[in-house]
Amino acid sequence: MAAKRTLSRVTMLLIMIGLLAPMFPLASEAVTKSQVDEACSDSRAQLEEYRAAQSAFAAAAEEYEVAVIEVDRVERKQETVAGSVDTHSEELDAIQAKIEEQAVELYMRGGLSSPGIIFSASTVDEYMTTSEFLTAAATGGQESIDELIATRTELDRFNEQLGETRVELEEVEAAKLGAKDSQETAMEAEQAAYAKLSGKCKELAAKYDTEQQELKARARQRAAGSVQVGSFICPFTPARTSFINSWGYPRSGGRRHKGTDMFAAWDEPMYAVAAGRVITGSSGLGGKTIWLIANNGIGYYYAHLSGFNVSSGASVGQGQTIGFNGDTGNARGGSPHLHFEIHPGGRGSAAVNPYPTLASACR
């Protein structure tokens, strides 16, 4: 059970090391939180401007659509009126022809002084105001002719007005198109500005996150003291041990405490903190002891064991149970604990305070 838990811790640790490894080294320029906030705030502000420009463009596009529809409507109306003018002109021509025929007939019967007046008249209006015509008109059609002339005149005037309206509307349409185009250009500029600021915000935020993770990893390393982290695991199952920083505490014979006392249950399994080779030993002070010389040369000293789970000289894997918690040596009669030391230079070199390393690994 303990070995299984230790194995999973090792796996986790390895995964963590793998994840942290690409984050080093630190970028030369560190990103601050306020820089990220500022960039992202700029980006948000620019997004608002872009949205406003989008709305302005949509409004301009709609106004242009309305103008196009209006021009189209007047255009079609003008075409209809022009068609009516043509129809009425044809009717007038037909009636005029009929009257001319009648006038000639009248002349033949001696009723008109001269047919010339009829044929020299250049317009229907002129023709119909001649005194000769009045006689001719008496034979019929005056009322309908008057009506047709009035209608045609009115239609002509209306058509002319429509033409003017159409020109004005076309001017409006052109202006709206111009407004729409410039709004579109403005919108595109705002969009480009937003894309740029948004990219900067994302980039800085990502950079900031990465740097923060790197800083945390470094802080963990610093907390671990002068000894490396990563390839080090807690000598006990973390939840089953307790210890304080007792480095330098006075000990019998004027000695200073050169390790950390890790309290745990009697016979609690203790693990190889790193892969290496073990040397078991026995002494008055340490009782049953193990020197674990890690493959990277660092020496770890275990004391007060109740018993060994390895033979001296054996190679061990990280997390392997190498012994059990006890009170041998000068710990006899006290609470069973592991006296643990770290010697970065290997066996025989000076010890460093193992507390930061343990505190980091045994959380």
Q: How far is the CB of 259 from Zn ion (least distance, A)?
A: 5
Q: Do 316 and 280 meet the contact criterion of CB atoms below 8 Å apart?
A: no
Extract the tokens encoding 306. 């109740």
Closer to Zn ion at the Cβ: 57 or 301? Answer: 301
Closer to Zn ion at the Cβ: 319 or 329? Answer: 329
- Closest-CB residue for Zn ion? 339
131 φ/ψ sector (left φ>0, alpha ψ -120 to 50, else beta): alpha
The string over 92-110, giving b where at least 16 C-beta atoms fall within 10 Å of a residue's C-beta and e elsewhere, is beebbeebbebbeebbeee
Q: Do 295 and 273 meet the contact criterion of CB atoms below 8 Å apart?
A: no
Cα 259 to chain center, whole Å?
52
Q: How far is the CB of 292 from Zn ion (least distance, A)?
A: 16
- Backbone φ, ψ for residue 224 (5° rounding): -80, 0
Closer to Zn ion at the Cβ: 9 or 339? Answer: 339
Q: d(Cα 287, Cα 326) in Å, to the nearest integer?
A: 9
Q: Do 117 and 135 meet the contact criterion of CB atoms below 8 Å apart?
A: no
Q: Bridge-partner residues for 323, per DSSP? A: 270, 308
Q: How far is the CB of 39 from Zn ion (least distance, A)?
A: 53
Q: d(Cα 309, Cα 240) in Å, to the nearest integer?
A: 19
Closer to Zn ion at the Cβ: 158 or 263? Answer: 263
Closer to Zn ion at the Cβ: 152 or 339? Answer: 339
Other Cβ atoms within 10 Å of 267 Cβ, number: 14
Closer to Zn ion at the Cβ: 74 or 358? Answer: 358
Q: How far is the CB of 257 from Zn ion (least distance, A)?
A: 6
Q: Are strands 287-294 and 276-283 parallel, antiparallel or unpaired?
A: antiparallel
Closer to Zn ion at the Cβ: 103 or 262? Answer: 262
CA atoms within 13 A on the CB side of 210: 17
Q: Return the H-helix or E-strand segment holding 6.
A: helix 2-20
Q: How far is the CB of 263 from Zn ion (least distance, A)?
A: 10
> What is the helix, strand, coil percentage profile of the chain, to 5?
60, 15, 25
Q: How far is the CB of 2 from Zn ion (least distance, A)?
A: 23
Closer to Zn ion at the Cβ: 256 or 363? Answer: 256
Closer to Zn ion at the Cβ: 158 or 247? Answer: 247
Side by side, the strands of the sheet bearing 337-343 are 260-263, 337-343, 299-305, 287-294, 276-283, 315-316
- In the complex, the residues that contact Zn ion under the rule CB under 5 A are 259, 261, 339
Closer to Zn ion at the Cβ: 63 or 261? Answer: 261
Q: How far is the CB of 217 from Zn ion (least distance, A)?
A: 30
Q: d(Cα 127, Cα 277) in Å, to the nearest integer?
A: 133
Q: How far is the CB of 293 from Zn ion (least distance, A)?
A: 20
Q: How far is the CB of 261 from Zn ion (least distance, A)?
A: 4
Q: How far is the CB of 287 from Zn ion (least distance, A)?
A: 11
